[in-house]
Amino acid sequence: MQVPKDPAILRWSAVALIFATGLLNIYYGNSYAGFFENLWYAMGAIYVFTAAVIAANFEPRFAQPTVFGYAIFLFVLWATTALGTGAGLDTVAYVDKAIEALLVVNMALLIRNSRRPGTLS
């Protein structure tokens, strides 16, 4: 598979994935009342905010690794909580976490490209 080398493409695909995950998290918090819905709202809002930060290319050396870590953290948090409680095992959550896994890969590629010498973004 051909991996995109252009940081701009990777950045905008990351923005799309972050924004989609954020909206899904907010939707999940709204539709699945009863289990930490406020936490899902907060996670979604943070994603939407970071989508704007990545889109603006603000402090990419800090912002990009932060989003990378945040996505891994939330994925593992969901997996551990779901295994421990049996909650959060449904189609919306699976789709959300599949996008989040893609986001992790996208962010890793973006960070690698952004940190190449002579790359601006």
Nearer to another protein, 12 or 75 (CB): 75
Nearer to another protein, 20 or 110 (CB): 110
Best CA proximity match to 67, nearest among 4, 119, 28, 16: 16
Nearer to another protein, 42 or 72 (CB): 72
Which of positions 24-63 make contact with another protein (CB under 8 A)?
36
Q: Does 9 bind another protein (CB under 8 A)?
A: no
Please report the sign of the dihedral spanned by the C-alpha atoms of residue 97, residue 8, residue 41, residue 46: positive
State the residue for tokens 């948090």: 77
SS3 of 11, please? helix
Which of positions 63-102 make contact with another protein (CB under 8 A)?
65, 68-81, 83-85, 87
- How many residues sit in the footprint of another protein (CB under 8 A)? 24
